[in-house]
Amino acid sequence: MSALELQFKKLKQAYSLCPYPDLAQRQQQLNALRLAIRQHSAALCDAVSSDFGYRSSDETRLLEIMPALSGIDYHNKHLKGWLKPEKRHVHYSFMPASNLVMLQPLGVVGIIVPWNYPIYLALGPLMAAIAAGNKAMLKLSEYTPATNKVLSALCEQALGPDVIVIEGETEIAAEFSRLPFDHLLFTGSTAVGRKVMQAAAANLTPVTLELGGKSPVLVAPDADIQQMAKRILFGKTANAGQTCVAPDYVLVPADKLELLISELCQAFNGFYPDFATNPDYSAVINPAQYQRLMTMLEHAHSSGTRVINCGDTSGKNEPAAANSERRLALQLIIGADDNSNLMEQEIFGPLLPLVPYQTLDEALNYIQQRPRPLALYLMTNDKATQQQVLKQTHVGGVCINDTLVHVAQDDLPFGGIGPSGLGNYHGKEGFIRFSHQKAVHQKGRFNSGQIIYPPFNRKVFKAILSWLTR
């Protein structure tokens, strides 16, 4: 038995000793986790910046620590109500009796954490798992060793032996996926998600897959371009575009294309003046990811596609040069080939294709013909357009007149559909995701059911059966 299997077995045994923690125990864990996050906040910010090469501590607090603390507060506020068994209807033919649904912990939950938001995408699922009464094992990314060290200390302080933190590369991740968890949540790419699901299938382990895909922005004909440009830009440049729900391309009315280009570039330089030294803009996490983005960009240049470097304030829009600090300004790309990697693969960086369209139906068809994305961003104040887009598109989640922030809504489920994910969590949905909905039917001393017991040749049985099947 491997060391990983021994750790898992130890956690299963601990769960069997306390298979249903009460409200006070769960709230104590949530409060301890909240306190530990606050105490390690500065260390987490420093660690993430070290792992990325640079990331603003303000951005880390805004995008990771704030939603983690908010999520814990939300769980604490609603946990008592979620734990109450839900009464269900009993058909009159089974009376007197009662029905209810009881939410029971699953057992030991596995959580595979990606590198792009290593704090929130570890603590978000973890808070839901422990609120539901489970033990948990976390597999952290090998790309974030400094952050992993702080997270390990944080979890040890707050949750002790109830949570085990694992590090390691591909082999460890594969072994982790093969453990017989009671539920496994994976956040990452669609390609790796398929492998995780295959590994989990051997144990019939249920999975939640939070993947990605190409999340579009649909700028409707009535949209105020000047107003919406900053909202699009915020979603695209947060964490330098290394976000699973970052806008991946923008569908814009052809007659508003040039205005959108101008407004996006102006907004970028307003957000990040003196881009090369700006303290608010993140680096691309490692040389491999940076080179992947540069390869996409170089292909766009070599194919004659129009590319605009929003970080070049000279007005010449020179091609982006290699940057030892792995900082890459927003690059607008117009006219990219639909069959290029840029338009087929999730970008995960500050490259933003702009796709002009003539009619709204044309834009909707463009979205419908592509794999279902994790998010869709619709820019319009027209109610009829909003309803048309909501009804005619299949996506994980929709944000109208903004980007990214729907993920931080504590009372909304978050998850993908098809190639962008399987299942959802956050808020109550997260609590349910990591719980078993146990059905309970209860009878008292009097058993009305005896009238349907054999033998079936009794007149009273025949009469009742005829009445029930009338």
Residue 251 bridge partners (DSSP): 218, 355
Which residue in the list 45, 64, 155, 210 is annotated as catalytic?
A: 210
User: Rounded CA gap, 470 and 456, in Å?
Assistant: 18
The most distant pair of C-alpha atoms in the chain lies apart, rounded to whole Å, by 96
Backbone torsion region of residue 160, taken as left when φ is above 0, otherwise alpha when ψ lies between -120 and 50, otherwise beta = left
193 class by beta-carbon count within 10 Å (0-12 exposed, 13-18 middle, 19+ buried)? buried
Contacts of 6 (CB under 8 A, 6+ apart): none
Neighbour count for residue 42 (Cβ, 10 Å): 12
User: Rounded CA gap, 44 and 52, in Å?
Assistant: 12
Which residue in the list 45, 155, 244, 310 is annotated as catalytic?
A: 244
Q: Is 244 part of the annotated catalytic residue set?
A: yes
User: Rounded CA gap, 96 and 227, in Å?
Assistant: 61
Q: Is 325 part of the annotated catalytic residue set?
A: no
User: Rounded CA gap, 292 and 155, in Å?
Assistant: 34
Phi, psi of 211 (to 5 degrees): -105, -130
Q: Going edge to edge, which strands form the sheet with 163-166?
A: 163-166, 135-139, 108-112, 183-187, 207-210, 421-422
Q: What is the set of active-site residues?
A: 210, 244
